[in-house]
Amino acid sequence: MELQTKALHAGYEKDSQGTMAVPIYMTTAYEFRDVEHAANLFALKELGNIYTRLNNPTTDVFEKRFAALEGGEAALATASGMSAIFFAIANAAEAGDNIVCAQQLYGGSLTLNTHTLKRFGIESRFFDVQNPASIEALIDDKTKVIFFESLTNPSIDVADIEAITAIANKHGILTVVDNTVATPVLCRPFEFGADITVHSASKYTTGQGLAIGGILVERKGLLEKLKGNPRYAHFNEPDASYHGLVYVDVPLPIFTLRARLSLLRDLGATSSPFNSWLFIQGLEHLSLRMKEHSNNALKLAEFLESHPKVKKVNYPGLKSNANYKNAQKYFDNGASSGLLSFEVDSLEEATKIVDATELYSLVVNIGDSKSIITHPASTTHQQLSEEELMACGVPSGLIRISCGLESSADLIADIKQALDK
């Protein structure tokens, strides 16, 4: 089945009412038939609903549908993109371990990796996503995850996914790819050897800036990589917190299973059923929107490239861009999503331009149907030092745009008047 068909049907079987739209199951808990039924559910002898912190029928449709789009085996929805990323890392690493991650990351992921995980005893080692060969020197037997974004936000690089996963596989290390900006419509990292993907559903999945959510997806056949792998003893040894369950012996997708049974149980960053329902609505037209976001961004990028005040345009769909080759290889038809950035001379110049736009909203978000403009150095990346800013590709004159679904002529006209002011 093609992706657009799955986006409308995967994961949902109509209930006895024949309900066309997926129902929103707003409930905290579920009645068990009897004590044995309850005991079987807790013992995983039977699968079913227990309590909405762990599972919910509406969220279940969202998870199954997203996994189908990504070409994965199973998914776990979370309360936010950040919790999906934290779960992916915490499900693989513990105190004393390290993870290797790209320098070019979303601001929240950078602070998570540099500061918060450190307080949990997990060290982060950074590599330049443009130089995958540098990963090898960072790996040791305590390395549990290689983490990077397929299309980086806000520096807009395209990762050479195959080069990175090849190194990870050589060492039996899990790769976690943040595929938020590319979405499964443009890029499916599992096809290039990735093990786990994470997304902020708050962006293109909802598509209209309606809700915060996240999702973690596990590829098919991940069990073989974890089974007997000394890096992941906690999947191979009895889990004392779950009456001695040995995950590799369970005939289910075990990465998401452990994240649900252990992390979602104890940390509770659950997707609200209402938000899951919003995300399901968004997925129905995600593929149509991604084409339009990409078209608009390409046209705007071409205009910006021709403007004398613009020093540099970062958009992987441009032939002049260093990421063009990777975009052609990893993204369907080379379509490169709605995110672009451009550089002007100074922080002052950037501030003037951002303030002069009328159609673009000054908002720290991406993936909305309405176009958004941001100045990362003063907002999302404000907590980073000048050195950290340069390392993750965010000079102070950088302006980021998330191209919405307005007419491209209007988007170009507004940025033109702001630049010419």
Residues that bind ligand PLP (CB under 6 A): 80-82, 106, 108-109, 149, 153, 178, 180-181, 200, 202-203, 212, 214, 366
Q: Which CB, 148 or 232, lies closer to ligand PLP?
A: 148
Tell the smallest beta-carbon distance from residue 380 to ligand PLP (Å). 9
The residue number with the shortest CB distance to ligand PLP is 81
Q: Which CB, 179 or 245, lies closer to ligand PLP?
A: 179
**Amino acid, single-letter form, for residue 414:** D
**Amino acid, single-letter form, for residue 294:** S
Q: E strands of 219-300, at which residues?
A: none
Q: Which CB, 210 or 356, lies closer to ligand PLP?
A: 210
Tell the smallest beta-carbon distance from residue 363 to ligand PLP (Å). 12
Cis peptide before 230 (omega within 30 of 0): no
138 CA to centre of own chain: 24
CB-count exposure of residue 352 (10 Å: 0-12, 13-18, 19+): middle
Q: Which CB, 83 or 296, lies closer to ligand PLP?
A: 83
CB-count exposure of residue 248 (10 Å: 0-12, 13-18, 19+): middle
Question: Rounded CA gap, 68 and 77, in Å?
Answer: 14
Tell the smallest beta-carbon distance from residue 160 to ligand PLP (Å). 18
Residue entry with tokens 């004393």: 96
Question: Rounded CA gap, 291 and 50, in Å?
Answer: 39
With contact defined as beta carbons under 8 Å apart, do 129 and 159 qualify?
A: yes
Tell the smallest beta-carbon distance from residue 366 to ligand PLP (Å). 6
Q: Which CB, 215 or 335, lies closer to ligand PLP?
A: 215
Tell the smallest beta-carbon distance from residue 270 to ligand PLP (Å). 14
CB-count exposure of residue 34 (10 Å: 0-12, 13-18, 19+): exposed
Tell the smallest beta-carbon distance from residue 186 to ligand PLP (Å). 14
Q: Which CB, 85 or 405, lies closer to ligand PLP?
A: 85
With contact defined as beta carbons under 8 Å apart, do 259 and 270 qualify?
A: no
Q: Which CB, 83 or 235, lies closer to ligand PLP?
A: 83
Q: Which CB, 178 or 218, lies closer to ligand PLP?
A: 178
Helix (H) or strand (E) holding 372: strand 372-374
Tell the smallest beta-carbon distance from residue 80 to ligand PLP (Å). 3
CB-count exposure of residue 16 (10 Å: 0-12, 13-18, 19+): exposed
Q: Which CB, 231 or 400, lies closer to ligand PLP?
A: 400
Count the helix, strand and coil residues of the chain and give each as a percent rounded to the nearest 5.
45, 15, 40
Tell the smallest beta-carbon distance from residue 109 to ligand PLP (Å). 6
Tell the smallest beta-carbon distance from residue 378 to ligand PLP (Å). 18
Q: Which of 279, 276, 278, 271 is nearest to 52 (CA)?
A: 271
With contact defined as beta carbons under 8 Å apart, do 271 and 87 qualify?
A: no
Tell the smallest beta-carbon distance from residue 278 to ligand PLP (Å). 13
Question: Rounded CA gap, 162 and 330, in Å?
Answer: 9
Q: Which CB, 52 or 205, lies closer to ligand PLP?
A: 205
